[in-house]
Amino acid sequence: MRVLAGLTVALFLMSGQQYAQPRLSKADGDRFHAKLTRIATLGNTPRASRRAAQSTVVSDVEVNSYLRYYAQDQIPAGIVEPVLSAQGDGIVSGRAIVDLDAVRKQKQRGWLDPAGYLTGKLPLTARGRLTTENGVGRFVLESAEISGVTVPKSLIQELLSYYSATADDPDGINIDDPFELPSQIREIRVTPGTATIVQ
């Protein structure tokens, strides 16, 4: 489940549009949980023992229902109400309320540093293109806004580094680095409202 948390943080901080509030349900969260379990089980099965590639289709509603009803303890403190959206053609976007005070206070800020002027908990939206091939993913940020104001990639990188840092990786995720897909996932195909995970 830690893999999901990492991917979630990366996607919504690296992925605006206005978000209609989706109708989320525990039943849809249950469906995604079952699919996540299947993905993990397939990931532990040697590929050579399978007859063909396996695909699992997940919907935006399932993912977001899981985030709301099951993943609260997997999302870093300071990030609330995350919503992910598959736009199609590899485009993904995300929205969350982010505690900017925690990031701002971690170091001394100069008057030219945009993070020095952001306080409180504000909505962050981001959009970008996810490409995956042969078990490796890459994300290219296209746009990001805080409270409707466009912010530079450097600020998104700082937020991403702060909220994805762990004891094993204190620098967190670098937005430009390719990343290995977990559970023997070979490819993720993003279409409007759904993503197809191929193992």
For residue range 146-169, what is the model confidence (pLDDT) as tens digits?
888 898 898 888 888 888 888 898
Question: Crossing angle for the helix pair 2-14 and 153-164, nearest 10 degrees?
Answer: 170
pLDDT of residue 104: 61
pLDDT of residue 19: 46
pLDDT of residue 66: 93
Distance between CA 88 and CA 65 in Å, rounded?
Answer: 20
Least confident among 21-30, 33-42, 86-95:
21-30
Q: 93: which residues sit within 8 A by CB, 6+ positions away?
A: 15, 16, 17, 84, 85, 87, 125, 126, 127, 128
Distance between CA 101 and CA 96 in Å, rounded?
Answer: 15
Question: In the predicted model, what is the mean pLDDT of residues 78-83?
Answer: 88
pLDDT of residue 14: 43
Burial class (CB in 10 A: 0-12, 13-18, 19+), 23: exposed
**pTM more than 0.85:** no
